[in-house]
Structure 1
Amino acid sequence: MDCSPAHLQGLFGTNASSAAAQYICGRFDAVSSKFIDTGYAVDNTYLLFSTYLVFSMQIGFAMLCAGSVRAKNTMNIMLTNVLDAATGGCFYYLFGFALAFGTPSNGFIGKHFFGLSQFPSASFDYGFFLFQWAFAIAAAGITSGSIAERTQFSAYLIYSSLLTGLVYPIASHWFWSVDGWASPGRADGLLFGSGVIDFAGSGVVHMVGGVAGLWGALIEGPRIGRFDHSGRAVALRGHSGTLVVLGTLLLWFGWYGFNPGSFVNILKTYGESGSFYGQWSAIARTAVTTTLAGSTAALTTLFGKRLFVGHWNVTDVCNGLLGGFAAITAGCSVVDPWAAVICGFFAAWVLIGLNMLAEKVQYDDPLEAAQLHGGCGAWGLIFTGLFAKKEYVNQVYGGDENRPFGVLLGGGFGLLGAQVVQILVVTAWVSVTMGTMFFVLHKLNLLRISHEEEMEGMDVTSHGGVAYVYEDRVHNKGGEMEL
C-alpha cells in the first residue's frame, strides 16, 4: 500500500502542508517496513524452531539404533549416527544444497550456491539451508540401520558422503526445487498437470534412505546366525528395549518439525486478511494428521502382531508407529484427519507384510529400515494420490485451481500417476547410484567385516572398547586383581 504526499494533499485540501504530508507518508512507510521485518522474523523463527525439532530426531535415531543392535556393537552404531550429522554437514554445505536448490537451474540438477556462495539471497536464507541439512542427514541415518552390525567403518564413511552430497540432493531437486522436473511448484509443464506431492519426504527422504539400505543389506547378506541351516529365521534381538522406546518417542517429538515445519513459513493467509483460518491452521492440521497416522499404525501393529506371535511386543509397536509417520509424511498437509487414520492402518499392514516377506527370502535388516521407510514411504505416496483434498492442494501449492487431486475424492488420475512415477524414479535412481557403490565396495572387500570381527563385536575390534563397563578391575600391590 503506497503513500503519496500528493494524494494526502488531495485528501486534506489544497491548503495542506506539503512537508506534513511527506512526514505522514514517511511514518507510514516506516511502520509498513517494520511489519515486513516482523513477518520475516516470525517466519524465520518458525523455520529455525522446526529445524531444531528435526535435528532432535538424530538423537532419536541414535537411541533407536543403539537399542536395536546387540550390546557388542553399540559404540559402532552410535558413532555412525554422530557422523551422519558431521559428514552430512560438510558435504551438504559443499555440494548438496547447491545440487538440490541451486536455482535458477535445469530440471535435473541445481547449479548455484556451492559452499553457500552468494548467501543469503532473495530466494534463501541460512535457516532454509539448516532445515534441509537436517533432512539430508535423516536419510543417511535410515541407511545405517539397514546395514548395522556387519559393515566396515570406512565403507560407512564412503556411502554417507555420497548419499548426503549427491544422491539425496539430486532426488530432492526433482521434487522440491521450483525448477525440478516433477515439482508441484513449477511455473509451467507440471508432470500430468499436477507434479508430485511429497510434502515432507515419504519418497525424497524415506524411500531414498530405505532403498539405499535395501541394496546395502542385500549385497552384504544377513548377519551370522540370523538364519539357521534350514533357512528359518532366528531372532537376534537388540539389547535394550528401553532405548528403542526412548528413541521412538524422540522421533515422534521431532516429527512435529519434520512435517509441519515443511511449510517453511507460518505467517500466510488463505484468502482475505483478518480471518481465523490461514497457514497456521494448515500447520496445526498437519500435526494432527501426523499424530493420527502414527497412532493408528501403532495400535494396528499391536493387535496385528498379537494375532501372529501371541504376545504384545513393544519393539514391533514402535516400528509400526514409525511406519505410520513415514507414510503420512507425503500427504500430511493435503489430507483430512479421517484419511490419516486410513493411512496409518494400511501402513502397519504394509510393514507387517514386508517383514514376513523379508524372512521368507532371508533378508536381514536389523532395524527393518528398508521395509519401514522404503515400503511405508511408497505406500504414503500412493495414499496421497488417493486421498489428497482439492481445497488443501490449492491452498498449499496454488497455481491452477483445477489441478488434479485425490482419485477417490474425484480428482482424476493425474496426481496418482505422478506419485507412481516418483516411486519408480526414486527406486531406479538410488538403485543405480547406491546399489553400484555398495557392489563396488563389496568386490573390493571394503564393505563387510570379517567373520572373526563380527563374532567378537565391532566395539572391541574397531572402536577400542565396549559401550558398557560392568566392573572396574585394578592391580593391587601384590599383583592380584581386585574390584
Structure 2
Amino acid sequence: MAVSWEESVTYSINTIYLLFSAYLVFLMQLGFAMLCAGSVRAKNAMNIMLTNVVDAVVGSISYYLFGFAFAFGAGSNSNPFIGTEFFGLKDIPSSSYDYSFFLYQWAFAIAVAGITSGSIAERTQFSAYLIFSFFLTGFVYPIVVHWIWSSSGWLSPSSSPLLFGSGAIDFAGSGVVHLVGGIAGLWGSLIEGPRVGRFDAFGKPVAMRGHNATLVVLGTFLLWFGWFGFNPGSFDKILVSYPKSSDQGNWTGVGRTAVTTTLAGSTAGIVTLFGRRLLVGHWDALDVCNGVLGGFVAITSGCSVVEPWAAIICGFVGAWVLIGLNILCLKLRFDDPLEATQLHGGCGAWGVIFTGLFAKEEFVIQVYNSGDSGISRPYGLLLGGGWGLLGAQVVEVLVILGWVSITMGPMFYMLHKLHLLRIPVEEEVAGLDISRHGGYAYNALQQEETGRRFYAEYVQNAS
C-alpha cells in the first residue's frame, strides 16, 4: 500500500532515532567491559573482558533464533521457532516488523547477560558463561519482556484488559532488564559461593578491590552516555502527534526523560559519596560510580512518567538501598565482585515500586494513550492515583523474582553438580587469565610470572 510523503518522512525519522538509540545502548557494552575490567583484580582482567564479548556474540544468536519471537510473538497457531526473515518474526505484529526494532531490543537483551556476568566474576568457568548467556537471552529474559512490553502481555500497560485497570509501567526496564539480571546473578553467586579469601576464618570480609579505578570511572561515564539511549530511546516512535494539540507528541517526553535520568543518577552519586564517607571515613570514587549507576537503574522504570523533583527522591532512596544491601551482603557473607545483585536487583526493584508511588497521570496518558483527552488511568499512589498502579508494580516485582528464580536457579545448580560452574581453587588463586586464557591482560604481569617460573626452575636445577 502506498504511503504519503509525510508518512514516509515520519517513518524515516522514527527509524533513525531508534537506530541511534540502539547504538547508544550497545555502547553500554563497552561501558560494562571497562567497569568490570577495572573492578576485578588484574589477574582476571582478560577473563572478564572476554565474557563481555561473549555476552554480545552469544546473545546475538540466541536472541535472533528464539528470544525475539518469545518476547514479541503474537501468533497462537504457529511455531515461534520457525518464521520468515527472523525466526518467529512472522508472528510479530506488523507495527514491530522492523529490523531497527529488533536491533534495539537485542541491545537490551545482551545487557541483561552482562549484569549477571559481573555477579559471578573471578571464579567461574568460561563454558558456564556460554551456557547461561544463551539461556538467559534466548528464553528467560524474553518471557519477562513479553509479559510487560508486548502489547499482548498480561502485565503490559498497553494490553487489554489492563491488570488492576493499569498494567505495570516499566518504561525502560528497571524490572524487565535490571531486576532480571540481578536475580540471575544472585543465584549464580549463592550457588558458587564467595571467592577464595573474600572472608577470613572468622567470617569477616577481606577487601578485594579492583585493580584500576581509571577503567571504572571510564566505564561509568560510558554507561551514563549510553543510558540516554536506554531511557529516552525507549520512545521508539518520537513523531507521534497528540490529538487536539499542536505542540505535544512523544518527542516532548524525550527531553524530560533525559532530565529525570540525569537527576536520579546524580542525586544517588552525591548521597553515596557522603554516605560512604560517614561509614568508611574517606571519599571513594568507586563507591560514587556505583551510586550513580544505582540511581540510573532505579529511575529507568518511571523516567518518562515522573516529574524531575520525583527523580531526585528516586535517586536519594536508591543510594541508601544500595548502601544498605551492600552492608547486609557482607554480614551474610555474600560475594558479588561488582555489587551487581545489590545494584541492579535492589535498585531495580525500588525503581519499579517508585513508579507506582510517583507516576503523574498526565505523563502516563501521554506515554501510553498518546495524550488522548477524556481518559483516566491509575497513577502514583502518593499523588492521589489510587492503588491500581502500585499493585501492578508489586506484582511485576514478585513475578520476576519467581520466574528468574525457578529458571536460573536450577540451571546454575545443574552446572554446579556437573562441575561446569566454578574453577578449581588452585586456578582461582593463580588467576583465570593465566590458568584459562593463556596469559595476563598486562605485559608487566606476564613478565613477572615468567620471571617467577624462571627462578623456580633455576632453584630446582641448582638443587
Fold similarity call, TM over 0.5: yes
Contact 1:182 1:196 in 2 (8 A): yes
Contact 2:73 2:93 in 1 (8 A): no
SS in 2 for 1:405: coil
1:337 and 1:61 map into 2 onto residues whose CA distance is 27
**Residues 1:459 and 2:423 aligned together:** no
Q: Counterpart of 1:468? A: 442
| Partner-residue secondary structure (3-state), 1:470 | helix
Distance in structure 1 (CA, Å) of the matches to 2:274 and 2:150: 41
Q: Deviations over 1:72-108 (max 9, x none)?
A: 00110000001111000001000000000012459xx
Q: Which moved more, 1:366-375 or 1:401-410?
A: 401-410
Counterpart CA distance in 1 for 2:76 and 2:329 is 41
Match of residue 279 from structure 2: 308
Other-structure match for 1:442: 416
Residues 110, 373 of structure 1: alpha-carbon distance in 2 compared, 3 angstrom cutoff? farther
Deviation at 1:272, TM superposition (A): 3.3
- What residue identity is the alignment partner of 2:141? Y
The one-letter amino acid of 2:193's match is G
TM-score (norm 2): 0.92
Q: Say which of 84, 89, 92 aligns to 2:63.
A: 92
Match of 1:296 in 2: 267
Q: In structure 2, what is the equivalent of residue 246 of structure 1?
A: 218
Q: How far did 1:122 drift?
A: 4.4
CA-atom RMSD in angstroms? 2.2
TM norm structure 1: 0.88
In structure 2, the residue corresponding to 1:178 is in which secondary structure? coil
C-alpha separation in 1, matches of 2:298 and 2:365: 22
In structure 1, how many angstroms separate the alpha carbons of the residues matched to 2:378 and 2:83? 32
Opposite residue 445 of structure 1, the aligned amino acid is H
Is the Cα contact below 8 Å between 1:100 and 1:110 reproduced in 2?
Answer: no
Residues of 1 paired with 2:352 and 2:446: CA distance? 52
Q: How do 1:9-408 and structure 2 match up within 5 A? A: 33-105=4-76, 115=87, 117-118=89-90, 121-186=94-159, 188-272=160-244, 274-275=246-247, 277-398=248-369, 401-408=375-382
Q: Within 1, Cα distance between the matches of 2:81 and 2:17?
A: 26
**Aligned counterparts of 2:387 and 2:82: Cα–Cα separation in 1:** 33
In the aligned structure 2, how far is the partner of 1:444 from the partner of 1:347?
Answer: 38
- Paired letter, 1:446: L
Give me the identity figure in percent.
68
Match of 1:409 among 374, 377, 383: 383
- CA offset at residue 268 of structure 1? 1.4
- Tell me if structure 2 keeps the 8 A contact 1:102–1:110: no
What is the Cα deviation at residue 402 of structure 1? 1.7
Equivalent residue letter for 1:162 = F
Distance 2:446 2:87 in 1: 47
2:73·2:89 contact (CA, 8 Å) conserved in 1? no
**2:460 corresponding residue in structure 1:** none
Deviates more, 1:114-123 or 1:413-422: 114-123
* Cα offsets for 1:181-221 (capped at 9, x unmatched): 111101x2211110000000000000000000000000000
In the alignment of these two chains, the number of paired residues is 443
Tell me the SS of whatever aligns to 1:244.
Answer: helix
Q: State the distance in 1 between where 2:40 and 2:295 align.
A: 22
Write the distance in 1 (CA, Å) between the matches of 2:46 and 2:10.
45
Larger Rg: 1
User: CA separation in 2, counterparts of 1:472 and 1:190?
Assistant: 59
**Matches of 1:405 and 1:293, distance apart in 2:** 20
User: CA–CA distance in 2 between the matches of 1:410 and 1:302?
Assistant: 33
